[in-house]
């Protein structure tokens, strides 16, 4: 909604839903398995009204290895876009609450940057699938 110069914004204009929005939250980490088979996955909540996305609201779970594959696919798919790094691999104490929380925050920052990029929002096939398809499988994209 364009605003005319010199006229103050109305209350409705200030609090209206933006023309397009994409909100992503990484939350609710859960650790599964025992011993060497342990892993943590994260819930990704996506809310958007961008037409390229099939759903307005979605919730999926992803492991760190899914994020690694997603990033690799994005780099191949979008050669003109500089894809940010993921939070680093952790080899010791990776299942402590502090480490899991730090990784969750790093994954949140990564997705905010990637999903906030206009070229990726409208031109990436893998972005929408990664954020919204509960049966997303990296082997389909490799």
pLDDT tens-digit readout, 22-52: 899 999 999 999 988 889 999 999 999 988 8
Tokens representing 72 are 């690799």
Letter string b/e over residues 25-42, b meaning 16 or more CB atoms within 10 A of that residue's CB:
ebeebeeeeeeeeeebbb
Tokens representing 85 are 């790094």
User: Could you give the number of structural domains in the chain?
Assistant: 1
CATH number (domain holding residue 57): 3.30.1520.10
**Domain-located, residue 10:** no
**Domain-located, residue 81:** yes
Q: What pTM did the predictor assign?
A: 0.83
Range(s) of the domain holding residue 121: 19-141
**Alpha-carbon span 63 to 69, nearest angstrom:** 10
- 67-122 residue pLDDT tens: 999 999 999 998 888 999 999 877 777 788 889 999 999 999 999 999 988 888 87
**Cα 133 to Cα 25, 30, 97, 122, 127, distances in angstroms:** 15, 19, 27, 17, 10
């Amino acid at each position: 909604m364009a605003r005319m110069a010199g006229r103050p914004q109305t209350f409705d204009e200030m609090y209206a839903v933006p023309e397009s929005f994409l909100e992503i939250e990484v939350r609710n980490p859960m650790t599964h398995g025992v011993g060497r088979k342990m892993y943590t996955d994260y819930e990704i909540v996506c809310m958007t009204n961008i037409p390229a996305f099939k759903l307005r609201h979605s919730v999926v779970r992803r492991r760190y290895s899914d994020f690694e594959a997603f990033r690799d696919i994005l780099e191949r798919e979008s050669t003109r876009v500089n894809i940010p790094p993921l939070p680093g691999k952790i080899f010791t104490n990776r299942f402590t609450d502090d480490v899991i929380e730090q990784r969750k925050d790093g994954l949140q920052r990564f997705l905010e940057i990637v999903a906030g990029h206009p070229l990726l929002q409208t031109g990436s096939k893998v972005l929408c699938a990664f954020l919204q398809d509960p049966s997303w499988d990296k082997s389909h994209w490799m």
